A and B are shown apart, each in its own frame.
Chain A
Amino acid sequence: MNYIYPEYEVVRNYARCIVCRACENQCANCVHRYIESENRMESKDDDCVNCHRCVTICPTRALKIIKSDHTFRYNSNWTGKTINEIFKQAESGGVLLSSMGNPENYPVYFDKILINASQVTNPSIDPLREPMETRVFLGSKVHKIKRDSNGKIDTSTAPQLDLSVPIMFSAMSYGSISYNAHESLAKAAEKLGIYYNTGEGGLHEDFYKYSKNTIVQVASGRFGVHKSYLDTAAAIEIKMGQGAKPGIGGHLPGAKIVGAVSRTRMIPEGSDAISPAPHHDIYSIEDLRQLVFSLKEATDYKKPVIVKIAAVHNVTAIASGVARSGADIIAIDGFRGGTGAAPTKIRDNVGIPIELALASVDKRLRDEGIRDRVSLIVGGSIRSSTDIIKAIALGADCVYIGSAALIAMGCHLCRSCQSGKCNWGIATQIPNLVKRLNPSIAYQRLVNLVTAWNHEMREMLGGMGINSIESLKGNRLMLRGVGLTDKELEILGIFHAGE
């Protein structure tokens, strides 16, 4: 007996349905079925994940998915969601597993912050007519003037990443997403003059040609990490944590370690790929420093090293330590960051909002006089150009986008990545699903998204009378809060609207 009533219902308008069976053919979850004797289609709601593939593909718009109005007796403590979770665990004895970012109803601070604009006294700038600088450099900045024995200023700088716009695609491994998804991200990064990130799945041999736009990741499992992987990259990211699951490691099940994924990770097919949360060689900032410098030594100090951490309660102290570890860039991932799979309870309850983490880390590093030693990248979750403008004004140098990039490629946020049966060809390794994602189309959609956001950011910068991203960085006077408490305003370092 199955206690769980389907969460969604497939509604078919039989007046429109032409029995073309496209829905049946497209659904990897086998929701649709053809009844030959009656020459009509039938649906099995239990298996529907609400990914909209059938809805989108249906040539006559005969399908829609609705949330079931089936309900438990009203109870604001024991919600249907909670009851169903208990049913699932009582049935299986398993840890609840979910995908993508935290969907729960926590405050989104970006939505409670408003952006300034110039009026009368400080003219705004028209970005269509006047130059507007969105280029940024990430890496440790020179914080002391050094002269050689002849008194000449030493103009050398630490290695920098050069971006046309302060947006990068965040780490998503080949394995968690498909070959075609990776290719789309890599091509888009190259076209846009930005970077994408391999995640901890190694770098497929076909993608070495995008190396100038590639950030490679080194995590606790070290999958696919070897000399040429490090040598080819523009930067190396050490993954210490992830916003979707702080304190939890990665675990790609053996079923997904097939073919080229196995080859790229350099582990046998069918073997679990386990990246525990702790790096068991890193128990301190000194140990982290050792990994940072072993990577720098191995690559002749030619590449910036990024250390990625999750936004957790004491993120400021951690970031301060990381800034002293020799890292060139710190990436902070907020609690709404996405993932291919995470224990539900961790995803929904661990970590803190990126807006608060960013504001307090930036302040702490400035207070300690070490802000210039590192660049700050924030992610988890950045959903629009305005989120980026607000993040930069709160002190970020750049943002990572993951979920937004996937959505641009066709992800409908059904949050079922862990099943490996992504109907959109993104979070799957099943060949006939992967080929649904056409890299030359998906790449163009990514380019379009970033280009559009860039236009919007230029407009907003111009509106504020600012002509470069650099002048917006940490410029919190450009922000005002609405409906925030004194404490929240204090942490964000902004005034309330009207002040």
Chain B
Amino acid sequence: MKINAKNIEYRELNQLIKKSKGDITIDNCIGQRYIASGLSNKKIKINGTPGNALGAYLDGAEITVLGNVQDATGDTMNDGKIIVHGSAGDALGYAMRGGRIYVRGHAGYRTGIHMKEYETKKPVIIVGESAGSFLGEYLAGGILVVLGLSGTGMVVGNFPGTGMHGGKILLRGNRIPQSLPPQISISPIEKGNFGEVETYLREYCEVFSLDYEGITKEPFFILKPNSSNPYHQMYVTN
């Protein structure tokens, strides 16, 4: 089903989406917020620019955006997939617990913060270009990958992994970010040895028609926490 989002408000648009059956294509999307929040079992293609909180609490639906997305995309996402052919705003995948977000372009500040994993739930965010500061802040689980495909500079902004106590962050390129917190360890990835991340990287490359071999022959670094209890020694009972 096709929905023309021109001149309709978010509440009306979201009701139309919830009511419609089968695959949905939204044309002329222009900043409507909360699209597909909490949805499962739907495939949605969006032409244009959805507004903030796209796919919040997403529970299994698949969203493809031919354009950019704004802030708080995939907030508290539990399952499903969000594919963005353009770039993403701030707080992408906030507190995400499951599913995958693939962004071809850049991502803003605080990408993947508070992400967590649990049993079979393991959230994955892959960003094609660069990500802003505070990438993976408070990261408790899941996988964050920043590829920096066309850039030559630093792929992340300042303070990646602050308060990180789980999960992993993979950065492609030669340069190690400055200002890493002390509880983070950083090490190079041996050639081709991506482990569980390989499946997602291959899927990412397939989605955006990229050359997996070409991308993965460049060096990668992996950031991991040294402890899952970063504040263990901080307190004394009074």
Contact = CB atoms under 8 A, between A and B. Distances in A.
A222 B96 CA distance: 9
B72 A97 contact: no
Nearest to A268: B118
B14 interface: yes
B113 interface: yes
A7 to B, nearest CB: 11
B236 A251 contact: no
Contacts, number: 147
A276 to B, nearest CB: 6
Interface stretch (B42-50, B198-206, B225-233): B225-233
Nearest to B72: A281
Interface residues of B, number: 50
B10 to A, nearest CB: 8
Given A254-B228, A298-B37, A419 B94 contact: no
B117 interface: yes
Interface string B195-238: 00000000000000000000000000000000011111111111
Contacts of B233: 93-94
Contacts of A93: 233, 236
A169 B149 CA distance: 52
Interface in B104-126: 110, 113-114, 116-118, 121
Interface of A is mostly: mixed
A229 to B, nearest CB: 9
B168 to A, nearest CB: 14
Contact of B114 (A220, A294, A344): A220
A294 B59 contact: no
Contacts of B118: 262, 266-268
Contacts of B78: 226-227
Contact of A298 (B52, B56, B117, B237): B56
B161 interface: no
Contacts of B34: 293-294, 297-298
Contact of A290 (B53, B121, B134, B163): B53
A142 to B, nearest CB: 19
A483 interface: no
Contact of A267 (B116, B229, B235): B116
Interface residues of A, number: 48
B132 interface: no
B237 A419 contact: yes
Contacts of A271: 140-141, 165-166, 228-229
Interface string B120-156: 0100000000000010011011000000000000000
Given A253-B232, A271-B166, A280-B137, A297 B14 contact: yes
B61 to A, nearest CB: 11
A266 B121 contact: yes
B62 interface: no
B86 to A, nearest CB: 20
Nearest to A281: B91
Interface in A224-254: 225-227, 230-231, 251, 253-254
B11 to A, nearest CB: 8
Nearest to B94: A281
A222 B76 contact: yes
Interface stretch (A84-92, A108-116, A123-131, A443-451): A84-92
B140 A96 contact: no
B57 interface: yes
A96 B95 contact: no
B160 interface: no
Given A225-B57, A274-B163, A274-B165, A290 B229 contact: no
Given A225-B76, A290-B53, A298-B37, A268 B166 contact: yes
Interface string A250-282: 010110000000100011101110101000110
A297 B18 CA distance: 10
Contacts of B75: 281, 291, 294
Contact of B165 (A94, A230, A272): A272
A426 to B, nearest CB: 18
A226 B57 contact: yes
Nearest to A341: B235
A385 interface: no
A297 B52 CA distance: 13
Interface in A6-23: none
Nearest to B56: A294
Contact of B236 (A89, A262, A416): A89
Contact of A227 (B40, B140, B228): B40
Given A272-B228, A281-B94, A298-B57, A344 B238 contact: yes
Given A91-B236, A253-B229, A254-B229, 8 more contacts: A96-B238, A222-B76, A225-B76, A226-B57, A267-B141, A280-B114, A297-B37, A299-B38
User: Nearest 5 CB-CB pairs, A to B?
Assistant: A94-B236, A298-B38, A222-B95, A96-B238, A297-B34
Interface of B: 10-11, 14, 18, 33-34, 37-38, 40, 52-53, 56-57, 59, 71-72, 75-76, 78, 90-91, 94-95, 97, 110, 113-114, 116-118, 121, 134, 137-138, 140-141, 163, 165-166, 228-238
16 contacts: A85-B238, A89-B236, A91-B236, A222-B97, A225-B57, A226-B76, A227-B40, A266-B97, A274-B138, A281-B94, A290-B72, A291-B75, A293-B34, A294-B57, A297-B38, A416-B237
